[in-house]
A and B are shown apart, each in its own frame.
Chain A
């Protein structure tokens, strides 16, 4: 499983959870993202290792050696998305109701096109 396909799944999941008002699902969603971000036990990596064995080596860290900040951009993405959802869905649900939808749309588009502006921006900032 690549990060691209996982972003697609995240986007679709979030949109479905939002449409059907499955607040519990969204809390679980936030929890998974926080877990991935804090531990770096990312679902794409786990799924790939289950499929390909321990030989799997995530090649998304192409500029790992020259990264200024030794922290994975994908982890930062998950933490940021979780944080945004906490703020916009849990704390200020009515005021910024649109933001979770926006996150869902962007994740979906990132999965469809393999172009994730946030990850690109994070890597430009120096994350691994």
Chain B
């Protein structure tokens, strides 16, 4: 067989036996016939030369008799005529020559030279005076004759075998090969996807039986496939129903709770102002019960979401130590409530982690919260370390407490749903019994797990192990935060909580739920903001066009037009594009809302402080309130300017530091975004000049650069830049986030108001 490159010629012996069935059968049959034929021929032809010799002996008698007859009439024949008569007789019998001798007379007919073999006969004469005639008949070598005959027989056998072999091959192809070929063709068609192919079942032989069984098997497979498809459709329908249920329940359960919690809070304040202490206590109980119920509902819905496989990880890269410090700061009041000491040990090499920061935060909140809850005047320790295992880096969070401990018989139920130490613990310690169950599921989703050990009276240890890089990354979406491992930040004053500082402004609240509208309206009205309301998306768009508010809060789930559609409509309208929009929803909003143009996102029930921060951040402050963009690259500048404008932020542009300084002194922007490598005045000098000018030094500056910063560069930027970020394709979202964080952190308007 020729190789494709013509450099190899194969004759693999294994392929020798891999020939077509017809060839194999033909070969086997022919070999058998050859063997039998040769065995038979050995026995039948072994004495062929002797038989030939015996045959000549017999013929010699015949020739002798004929010669005797001729000799009787020899006197009437001439020698020539006698010779001709003799020749005719002996040549017909296969002799080559004759020698007749009678006394002195001798007569030779035919050829005798070269033929050593002869037969002798003496013919006696009837007359007494006549001499007997000696006849010697010569014949060819019997061995040669035998050989000749064997050759002819063998070639004849060869020809017969050849014809027979062709016939066997043809018959095998008809009987075996063609049906097999048809079977193979049908099977190939089925494997290629043509499931409707069926075999011809008209045959009554084994192929017909095989065909019928194949057809039955195919029918069975088709039925099973249809049943599986139906089951799949039903499962998908059930899954969709479950998702819809979760979404609806999430909305339906949280909406009234939002009203209960919000109104109870507001009524508390009103009652406190009126000095009605008893009502304050009653309302506090209502508020607490509402919060507890909300926590329970959130836990149940989260659990349901996880069980339904609908919970997704929102993977991003974040600083581990930053997260730990944040958690610790948040939990400090809870620790202080039971007079517990919180000790934190963070290893120096924690670095960054690629996982779901929110879920990890929630897990740590849960563990540390439990530790604080079940420990009285004790110590809660949090140890965080990084280690390698099986070629991967892992993080280990260990939460130890010196609390009441967990009985051994309760350990097995620790991570089960609604599991608490005993029935009285919920009354004494509160809680829903879902925290650990959810935390464990979160950890397992992130590729790790939680282990617990405890001794009654001595305390408990919970160990969370998580891989540094979560195995379940969302496809193509690992959001980059600041690239530098050591972020350069400046100290900025914390945001002031309290009344929303937005006097004289108008805010449009778009929400189909009257309770939410009322609640948000009251929150905002306390700040002296004029609140406009709209009960649907269409009404909201119409009122926004009519009233041109300074800020819009927009519910996501509405019956007619959903929030995202309204948001897109607002951003497509040139007159409304600049108005910042805060999305409000019951659910975790996973869609990239800020890419759609929203300025912020709030979850219900709305936290007043959080609402205040966002309004403070998003409302354009009195005066300029713009963002100065300093970059020598026209394309980059246009891109970032458009991003900021779509988010409702006015933008001033400058192509270098000198121009930037000019514009800063004239317009006093709220924030500066600057490149480093620029002509005339680079970013470093620009920052130095800003730092020297007392009128400009309080304006936060975010540095965007593609430069690989050295330690020296970082040192130079330290104390001058609020944040340094890398220029990359995803920087637009990062810019908006940093602007919001920066404005939230500063909380300062250019006019100095808090």
Contact = CB atoms under 8 A, between A and B. Distances in A.
A19 B1 CA distance: 31
A62 B14 contact: yes
A105 to B, nearest CB: 5
Contacts of B26: 113
Interface in A51-96: 52-53, 55-60, 62-63, 73, 94
A64 to B, nearest CB: 11
Given A94-B143, A113-B26, A115-B23, A60 B12 contact: yes
A74 B3 CA distance: 20
Contacts, number: 100
A41 interface: no
B590 interface: no
Q: Is the interface of A mostly helix, strand, loop or mixed?
A: helix
B28 to A, nearest CB: 9
Contact of B11 (A3, A52, A56, A113): A3
B14 A105 contact: no
Interface in B1-31: 1, 3, 5-17, 19, 23-24, 26-27, 30-31
Determine the interface band of chain B, counting residues with CB < 8 A from chain A.
Answer: 35 or more
Nearest to A56: B7
Contacts of B568: none
Nearest to A95: B46
B151 interface: yes
B13 A60 contact: yes
Given A105-B158, A120-B16, A18 B10 contact: no
- Main secondary structure on chain B at its contact with chain A? helix
A2 B150 CA distance: 32
A97 B30 CA distance: 20
A53 B7 contact: yes
A59 B10 contact: yes
A55 B7 contact: yes
Contacts of A112: 27, 165
A113 B23 CA distance: 6
Contacts of A52: 6-7, 9
Contacts of B41: 98
Q: Which of B5, B10, B14, B161 has the most CB of A within 10 A?
A: B10
B17 A2 contact: no
A52 to B, nearest CB: 5
A106 B161 CA distance: 12
Chain A: interface size category: 35 or more
A1 B41 CA distance: 35
Given A19-B151, A115-B17, A115-B23, A62 B31 contact: no
A52 B41 CA distance: 45
B154 interface: yes
A120 B151 contact: no
A2 B10 contact: yes
Contact of B16 (A63, A94, A119): A119
A123 to B, nearest CB: 5
Contacts of A19: 151, 154-155
Contacts of B24: 113, 115
Given A102-B34, A116-B16, A59 B9 contact: yes
B245 interface: no
Contacts of A94: 143
B17 A120 contact: yes
A9 interface: no
Contact of A59 (B3, B27, B165): B3
Contact of A113 (B27, B34, B147, B158): B27
B13 A73 contact: yes
Contacts of A31: none
Interface string A1-15: 111100000000001
B30 to A, nearest CB: 6
Nearest to B26: A113
B31 A117 contact: yes
A67 B414 CA distance: 64
26 contacts: A2-B1, A2-B9, A19-B151, A19-B154, A21-B151, A44-B11, A52-B7, A52-B9, A55-B8, A58-B8, A59-B8, A63-B14, A98-B45, A98-B150, A98-B154, A101-B154, A106-B31, A106-B34, A109-B30, A112-B165, A113-B19, A113-B26, A114-B19, A115-B24, A115-B27, A119-B13
Interface of A: 1-4, 15, 18-19, 21, 44, 48, 52-53, 55-60, 62-63, 73, 94, 97-98, 101-102, 105-106, 109, 112-117, 119-120, 123
Given A115-B24, A117-B31, 8 more contacts: A4-B11, A19-B154, A21-B151, A98-B45, A101-B38, A101-B154, A109-B31, A114-B23
